Structure 1
Amino acid sequence: MSDQRRNLYFFYQQTEELNDKLESLFQLARDNDFQVVEDSNKANIIIAVGGDGTFLQAVRKTGFRQDCLYVGIRAGNEAGLYCDFDIDNHDEMIDAMKNSEIEVRRFPLIETTINNESTFSSLNECSVRSTLIKSIVVDVYIDDLHFETFRGDGLIIATPTGSTAYNKSINGAVVDPKLPCFQISELASLNNNRYRTLGSSFILSGERTLKLTVRQDGNDHPIIGMDNEAFSIRNIHDVTIKLSENVIKTVKLKNNTYWDRVKRTFL
C-alpha cells in the first residue's frame, strides 16, 4: 500500500456490537501507521463495513470519489459481492495492505440525466418504475434511433456489477465487469398488437446512449431508483443514460476474482 494512502474513513451503521468489533480494528490500523479520520473528505481510503447495501451507500454518500480507494468489509452474514474482507479477520486485511497482496479493481458507473437537467451516477443500476397501479409507457431510443415502445411496470438499466442485483432477480444476464457496457431489462412488459418490445434483456456497448421518453398520459411521475435510493422527481419527460467516464476504484485480494465472489454467493 502506498505511503500516500494512509488516511482511513469508516462508513457503517453504528450498533453496540459493531462498535466493539471496529474498535479493535481502529487500533490495529493505528498500530500499523494508518490514520482513522472522521471526515470522509480527508480520507484516501474509504472503508464500508456491512454488506453490499452499505458499500453502495458509502460510495454515494461520499460523492463517487475518483481520488481514493473503496474497501468493502462484510459484517455478519451480509451479502458481499463488493466486499473482499471479513470483519472477524482483521489481520488478513492489514497484512494484505502491507504486503501488496491486493489489487485495484475498477468498476464502471452509469450516468443518468433527467429532463436534460440533473445528472446522477449509479454503481449498480438505475430503474424507472410506475408509481401507480397502472402501467407506464416509455419510448426507447438507442443513439436517437427509436427502438421500441415499452408498456409495463418499468425498466432497469444495470452496470455489469449491478447485473447480479435487481437485474438478476428478473432473469437478466450476469455480466463480466471488465466489459464496458450496460444492460436493459424489462419489468412486467405488456405485449400486444399496439405495444411490442424485445421481451428480453439486451446489452449496449459503452459507446451507446440510451434515451427513455415517458409518455405524458397521467403516469408521468415514475419512481427513479439509483442503486438503493429512490428519487422523487415530478413531471419526468425523458431519461438519458450512458456509461460514465468515471469508475469506482476498489481493493481486491489477488486470489478473489469477481467470478469467485459470484460462485460463492449464488452457487
Structure 2
Amino acid sequence: MKIAIFANKRAKSQAVKKKLYQKFVERHFVIDDKEPDVVVTIGGDGTLLSAFHHYEDKLEQVRFVGVHTGHLGFYTDWRDDEIDDLVISLQSDNRQSVSYPLLEVSVKYADSPRRERYLALNESTLKRNSATMVTDVYIGGELFERFRGDGLCVSTPTGSTAYNKSLGGAVVHPNLEVLQIAEIGSINNRVFRTLSSPMIVAPNDWITFRPGKGSDFVLTVDSESYHNRQICEIQYKVSKRRIYFAKYRHTHFWRRVQDAFIGTEDENRMDL
C-alpha cells in the first residue's frame, strides 16, 4: 500500500506526522506523495479540505483518512493518540470505503470562450465587494428569482454543517445527493422580494446564477477565492465524481453532528 501524509504546519501536527512516518517505515509501507492509495491527513477539517484539492485529479484512486490534533471534525475519525490503532487498521486493509457527493462549479467568464470548472467538497459562494449583489437565480433552467443582498451560498450535504449552517441552512445527511442554496443578507421589502429561506434542490436539477455586470464579484470554492473577472454565469450541479474515505472506523454522520454542536448526554445533563 502506498501512503501519503498530509499535515498542517502546527507543531503538534508535525510531531504526529513524524511519529506516523516512522511507524509506516517500520511496517514496510511505501511512502508516496505523488501516487498514493491512501492519504492520511493530520490536523482538522481544513487540512483535509486542502488535501482534497491537492489530490483532486486522483479522487478515483485515493481514499482519505483523517487524524485530528484538535477538536473532532466532520472528516477526521482518529485522534492523535490512536495512531498505533490506525496503522494496524491500514495493515489489515480490505479496501472498503464510504463516499460523499461533491459540487461541480462551472463558470463562464466574459474574457474567455471556455468555461472553467471547479470542484467543492463543502460549498461555493458568490459575493460582491463594493455594492449590493444583484443576481438572477435559475433552478433547472427556469428563472426563480432576482436576488439582492450580500451573496449566495451553494453547499453539498457534508458542507451543510459548515458555512451553510451559520446562514440558517438545514443540516442534510450525505446519503441525500442534493444541493442547498442559502441566502447571505438578502434585501426584502415592498419593492424587492426573495424566497428568504434555504432551498434543497434535487440532484437532477441544476442551479444557475447570472449576476449583473461588474468585475468586483468574488467566487469562492471551499477555501479558494476567485475575483477581478467579470462573471457571466455560474452553474452548480451534483458532480459525477465523489470523495472516498477509508472505512476503518467511520463515525456515523448524526453522531458527528451531535459531537460537534450538542455534546454528549453526560455533558448536557442538568440537575433537576
Tell whether the structures are fold-level matches, with TM greater than 0.5: yes
Identity among equivalent positions (%) equals 30
1: distance between equivalents of 2:247 and 2:26?
22
2: distance between equivalents of 1:254 and 1:61?
24
After TM superposition, the structure 1 = structure 2 runs for residues 22-33 of structure 1, keeping only pairs within 5 Å, are: 22-33=17-28
1:181 to 173, 178, 182: 178
Deviation string for 1:122-180 (max 9, x for gaps)?
Answer: 00000001111x21001000111001110000000000000000000111000000001
Deviation, structure 1 residue 254: 4.1
**2:241 aligned residue:** 246
2:102 equivalent to 1:109 = yes
1: distance between equivalents of 2:250 and 2:14?
29
2:40 to 25, 37, 47: 47
**1:130 aligned residue:** 128
2: distance between equivalents of 1:160 and 1:222?
25
TM-score (norm 2): 0.88
**What 5-or-longer segments of structure 1 have no aligned partner?**
1-5
**2:67 aligned residue:** 73
**1:228 aligned residue:** 223
CA contact 1:55–1:72 (8 Å) conserved in 2: yes
TM-score (norm 1): 0.90
User: Residue type matched to 2:186 in 1?
Assistant: S
CA contact 1:212–1:240 (8 Å) conserved in 2: yes
2: distance between equivalents of 1:255 and 1:232?
37
User: Residue type matched to 2:107 in 1?
Assistant: I
2: distance between equivalents of 1:100 and 1:151?
51
Deviation, structure 1 residue 256: 1.9
User: Residue type matched to 2:77 in 1?
Assistant: D
**1:118 aligned residue:** 116
**What 5-or-longer segments of structure 2 have no aligned partner?**
109-113, 263-272
SS of the residue 1:188 aligns to: strand
User: Residue type matched to 2:120 in 1?
Assistant: S
**2:258 aligned residue:** 263
SS of the residue 2:49 aligns to: helix
SS of the residue 1:149 aligns to: strand
Q: Alpha carbons of 1:89 and 1:184: their partners in 2 closer, same or farther (altered >3 Å)?
A: same
